Structure formats: C-alpha cells, structure tokens
Amino acid sequence: MKKVFTSLREHTCVSYAKFATIGGFCDLDHIVVKATSPDDTPLPDRYVLEILQIFSICPSSFGPFALSFSERFANTRCWRVALKCLHLFHRLLKALPHTSPFREELMLARSNGLISLYPCNFKDRSSSASQDYTYFIWSYARLLDESLDCCATQGKEIDEYHTTSHENFIDKMDEVRLMLEFLPQLQSLIDRVMDCRPITGKATRNIIVQSVMKHVIRDSFTCYTTFRKEIVEILDHLIQLPYTNCTAAFEIYKKAAKQANELSEFYDWCKSLGLCGMYECPFIDKIPQIQIIALENFLNGMWQSTDDPSSSTSVSPLSSNEDGNDCKQKQAMLLGPSNNVVTFSSTEKLSTAKSAAVPFLINCSIVPTAVKSLRYSTGFLLSPIVCNCGNTINIHT
C-alpha cells in the first residue's frame, strides 16, 4: 500500500508540473519536479541546462532553487526521485565555479536545517530492494556534503596560492601547510566515492544508478590525479617542515598506501561493469609497505636528536643558521648519489631497508622494471622532479 501511495503522489506532482508549464506558469519548482520524475530514466540534460540558464539571467534565483531542492528531496520516499535530486545537485555543482553564490546558498540552507545530506534522513518506500537503494543514496549524499565543504572552505585559498609565485621560503612553507590541511579532505572524498559502490546486483544494474556512478567515478579521476601531484610537492619539502607537519605528511602518505590498493580494486570493478573505459582510469601509484617502513625510520632518525618533539612544532629545521647547516647535512643524506640503487629480493632483507631508508626511497621502486620511470614520476614515489602546484584543486571541474 505504501508503494502504491508513494508512486501515485510522485506521478501526481510531475503531472501538475507539466500542466503548469503548458499554462505558462513555469518556475524553478516545476523544473525541479519535472527533472526528478519517478521513472527509470536518467536525469535529462535539458533540465540542467534550463536551470543554469535561469541562474545566468537571474542570480537571485540561487536561493529559491535551494528551497525547491530541499523541499523535493526532504518530502520524497521514492528512491528514483531522491537519486535524481542528488544528481541534479551534483551536476550543478560541477557546472558552476566554486566562487558562485550557489554554494553559499546551499550551505546557508544546510545550516538552517532545510537540507540534510549527512546524516541523510531519506528512506525508500517504493521498491522491493529499498534497503540497497537507501544505502546508495545515503552514501551519495554524504559524498556531495563533503565535496560542498571541501570546495567552500579551501577553493579560494588554494587559488590565491596558485596564482602567486612563492620564491620566499616562508610563503612556500605556508603553501605546503595549506596542502597538508587539504590533502586529507581529498583522501576523504576518495573514500566517499568508494562507499558509493552499490551493495547488490539489482542496484548496480539499474540505469539511473549507473548514470550517477559514471559522473562520480570521473570526478574521482580528477580528485586522485590532484592528490597524486600535490603529495609529491609535500614530500619534496618534507625535511624542511616542523615536527607536527612532518608527522601529518607521513600520516597522509601512509593512508595513501592503503587507499591506493582499495582504489585500484574499485576501478577494476568499475571497468568490469563498463562504467568507465579500460584506459580511462588514472594510473594508481601503489606504495609498498617496505617503503612506508623506510620513510618512517628516516623520519624517526631525523628527529631522534630532539629531546622534546613539541618544542619543534613552531620552529622549522631551516629557521636558524645552525639548524640550516644540520638540515643541509640531512638533505645531502636524503639525496645521496644518484647511482646507488638499493634493491630487495625478499622480505628477509627488511633490516637492510631500514638502514638504507632514504636512498631506497629516492632510487628504488621495489619492482626492478619501474626504476627507470622514477625520473618522470609525478606520483607518490619521491622524484627529483619538483612538481608545480599550479593545478586547480576542485573535484567539480
């Protein structure tokens, strides 16, 4: 009975919106209702374009759209309507720059309790697989909620740093610290993308779910590529960072090793379903565990002479002449001779890896055939090439 009532109510809303359009009374409410019809067809592009055209003509329509979206999403109990609402939300976020008032209106509506993406209160009553579709919508809503926060809090600051030169050492360190705050958010977004993987085959085979997943997956390509480039910049300045920032950078690198394996498996699953092309996914830089151990031992040795690590939290190793000389010695040890390639044939040589920690990180990639590619690597492996931080940090570009 609940399924019948839900279906009848949603179809009535769509019919009313169509009649209103024919009568010349078309507004954002009617467009949102027509775009999120309860049928098994993906979100039509023409409604996205119509809303974007309204935004360009009348910027004051951002607020009314936020209200229309929140009302439509909050009142529905049909997973098709809810998923199309979130997909419309997603498409508009991608189409508009992060400086647009659209994001501010959405965040204002969220702070006022009109929009609740996480936690999401939606529960499906229109399908026999309600639990599977409900879980997918919860995961998708959480991804959009985090991406909204990520773009709103960091976008402007990142752009300001990337549009100015950073020849000054202090400015460069400020940029690195900013990236240390931003990279965990990118990692969290990647986790949310992988959480959107449907549980059952019924949800996976649905055409609406597949349409949404294709957009989510392609956004994750940009997200991961950005992360992979920026982590190189962080590692390049690792020995110049204070203790707490150095520790934070290592935790990001450590999580990246675990996340790379999970993301590679996720992309393989996407390829098997045809959600992305075989060669469309970015190359995943897998980090061997022995490399994590080597870096950890080097960092522990670098700060071993410090009696109280907390005293180093506000002073960089290059903040004085004495410390600068000490840092030069560390940097010389870090870079070392370029022809000293350390290789390991088995796990029994783990102790050798610890003693040769840093030269190993520079010159060895565990797989012998991959050693040559280190000169041109823009991935997680430490490369002598300094990566330019000029890329735009925005998952929705």
Q: What is the pLDDT of residues 223-267, one digit of tens each?
A: 999 999 999 989 888 888 888 899 999 999 999 999 999 999 999
The pLDDT of residue 150: 83
Residue range 197-219: average pLDDT? 93
- DSSP class of 151: H
Residue 337: pLDDT over 90: no
How far is residue 273's CA from residue 204's CA, in Å, rounded to a whole number?
Answer: 9
State pLDDT tens for residues 348-364: 443 444 444 444 343 33
Residue 7: pLDDT band by 50, 70, 90 thresholds? Answer: low
For residue range 268-306, what is the model confidence (pLDDT) as tens digits?
999 999 999 999 999 999 999 999 999 999 888 887 755
Return the pLDDT at 306: 56
Q: What is the pLDDT of residue 361?
A: 41
Indicate whether 328 pLDDT > 70: no
Rounded Cα gap, residues 364 and 191, in angstroms: 29
What pLDDT, on the 0 to 100 scale, is given for residue 31? 93
Contact (CB, 8 A) for 12 and 84:
no
- Which range has the top average pLDDT, 173-187, 253-267, 377-391? 253-267
Structural domains in the chain plus CATH codes = 1-116 (1.25.40), 162-397 (1.20.58.150)
Query: Average pLDDT in the 128-140 region?
Result: 94
Q: Taking 60 as the threshold, does the pLDDT of residue 154 lie above it?
A: no
The per-type count for the chain, helices as H runs and strands as E runs, is 15, 0
State how far the Cα of 51 lies from the Cα of 31, in Å rounded to an integer.
8
- Rounded to whole angstroms, the Cα distance separating 91 from 226 reads 20
Non-local (6+) Cβ contacts of 264 within 8 A are 284, 286
| pLDDT of the residue at 149 | 87
- Lowest mean per-residue pLDDT among 3-7, 28-32, 182-186, 196-200: 3-7
Tell me the average pLDDT across 194-206: 91
pLDDT at 44: 95
Residue range 122-145: mean pLDDT, rounded = 94
